Amino acid sequence: MTMRNIAIIAHVDHGKTTLIDELLKSSGMFRDNQKTEDRMMDSNDIERERGITILAKVTSLEHDGVRINIVDTPGHADFGGEVERILHMVDGVIVLVDAAEGPMPQTKFVVSKALKLGLRPIVAINKIDKPEQRADEVLDECFDLFANLDANEDQLDFPVLYGSAKNGWMSTDPEGPKDSLEPLFEMVIKHVPAPTVEEGEFRLLATTIQADNFLGRILTGRVIAGEVTPNMTVKALARDGSIVETGRISKVMAFRGLERTTIEKGVAGDIVSISGLQKATVADTICHPSIKDAVAAQPIDPPTLSMTFRINDSPLAGTEGDKVQSRVIRARLESEAEGNVALKVREADDADAFIVSGRGELLLSILIENMRREGFELGIGRPQVVMQEDENGKVLEPIEEVIIDVDDEYSGAVVKGMAERKGEMIDMRPSGGGRTRLIFYAPTRGLIGYQSELLSDTRGTAILNRIFHEYALHKGEIASRGTGVLLSNGDGEAVAYALWQLEDRGPMMVTPGTKVYTGMIVGEHTRGNDLEINVLKGKQLTNIRSSGKDDAVKLTTPMKLSLEEALSYIANDELVEVTPKSIRLRKILLDPNDRKRQSRAAKKSA
């Protein structure tokens, strides 16, 4: 059977997963009365909750005697490591672009990787039914993007489709016909070349890894040459050609629809999964024992952000989670780093802490969210950018390209906010519908925590997208959080009366009945210094009735920080305590005397 291997790449929320749903339905993979879910490829709980794709996944369908393997890719820049790996498995890409928003940063990032590999793109302009659609302008923007990314003549001569994935149609004409996805199937079969098959014995480049309780490691990749069968002896080669291990394949599986099914033989060109190896990982070459050279694998862009993961040592440690030991945390982080090449884990100077580096806040916060759902308790430090040095010893920091779409009236507030964070404005142009598109080059450390401030400044109307641009000279000091925090001076449960009396000190972060401890952050101080307060003090009760009516306690709604907001809110001397049930903020040193000693020591050394 002839085959086609394609990836669907686009910016977050441009409709990749929805399009794959419709392709599966129209290909006859399901019975007419079969119940199916929306976004079938988003199998992870967090993917469903947030409406984003995090892990690259493969599906397969048949059309007119041709098997089409389709890879659904993440659309967020933080998961770019996933995208870079899977591009080695495919021979063509469908670049899905929103008819109103046009090509966005993640589109640019992934398309540049695809063009470098020589993949020929098909441009599909999606959501053509939007009232604010501007398909002709978006097509011109796509051509300019490809030209700027040094696309060759074949890649610039790309075919174009228009349609609505949600309504299940694609056409070569914006006006339709609007009845099926047949034009897309035909375009894939006609435009995407069949897989290139090399001569020689079996070779496969592992691009994704998955753990299974029964089968162990499951490695997925495209068979470059030869055939693979169960019980076959193979060896794994690292990128430098050294032997990682020699073993026997226990099972060969392939994707048929949404299911991974066992097959008797994997042939060259097909995307398969194999199990049985103990040490082989992503970017390793799985091959016949006679092969000596590893398959070339593209290097992955370096991590730009790191966080310190440490054991939870607060007074409430172990009351909500069951995985609190450093050895359990270490094992979990190491297994995550095995499957996620964009993640790096190393031990910190403190024996019970680990430094985890990744592409961005979202990538690391998703890992933390997964761990807390598994029963882990952690103390997480403030995100720090990963610096580098040039040959002259000068410090280089990561710079990101930031694109902000905002209503015209708030553009001044955005420019001011970015300038305070050392952001340099590159472009400013209208983006239609009374909105302005602002493009900046800004240091990564200045963007930590900016999302929530941006939404406040623009009344929730701004959309921020960012992508790693380059390493450049350090931009100098950036002003930190302008306020101090309110700290609990005792252990117990917060009392409504005490919170009510302290409201003029600043907004609270806890509600009555919340368990607190000494050194825990319970609110934000209106001034720049930290202040210890007593949130445990109840009303003094006597046996004498007051002549007037008691004041009713009416509390202001407290600040409720999400995990990402908490991570970006804390200062360098603070931690986010993450448990399966709670997210708390605290000082690293809980004892006020220890904090004073450290402050005095810091002043002396300065």
Q: Which parts are annotated binding residues for GTP?
A: 13-18, 126-129
Diameter over CA atoms, the chain = 97
Cα–Cα distance list, 606 to 572, 597, 600 (Å):
17, 14, 10
φ and ψ of 246, to 5 deg:
-120, 135
**Look-up: residue for tokens 């496969």?**
204
Strand-strand pairing, 424-432 and 485-488:
unpaired
Cα dihedral across residues 507, 513, 517, 518: positive or negative: positive
What is the 3 state secondary structure string of 358-412? ECCHHHHHHHHHHHHHCCECEEEECCEECCEECCCCCEEEEEEEEEEEEEHHHHH
Distance, CA of 585 to CA of 379 (rounded, Å): 9
Non-local (6+) Cβ contacts of 476 within 8 A are 422
Distance, CA of 270 to CA of 234 (rounded, Å): 18
Cα dihedral across residues 72, 75, 80, 84: positive or negative: positive
Distance, CA of 195 to CA of 197 (rounded, Å): 6
φ and ψ of 96, to 5 deg:
-95, 125
Number of Cβ within 10 Å of residue 485's Cβ equals 24
Number of Cβ within 10 Å of residue 163's Cβ equals 30
69: left (phi over 0), alpha (psi -120 to 50) or beta: beta
Could you list the residues known to form a binding site, using ranges. Answer: 13-18, 126-129
Cα–Cα distance list, 338 to 109, 218, 293, 341, 348 (Å):
24, 12, 22, 7, 19
H/E element holding 446?
A: helix 444-447
Distance, CA of 111 to CA of 105 (rounded, Å): 10
Find the angle CA(195)-CA(198)-CA(202) to the nearest 5 degrees.
105
**Look-up: residue for tokens 């610096």?**
387
φ and ψ of 72, to 5 deg:
-90, 125
Strand-strand pairing, 2-10 and 92-98:
parallel
CB 574 within 8 A of CB 382: yes
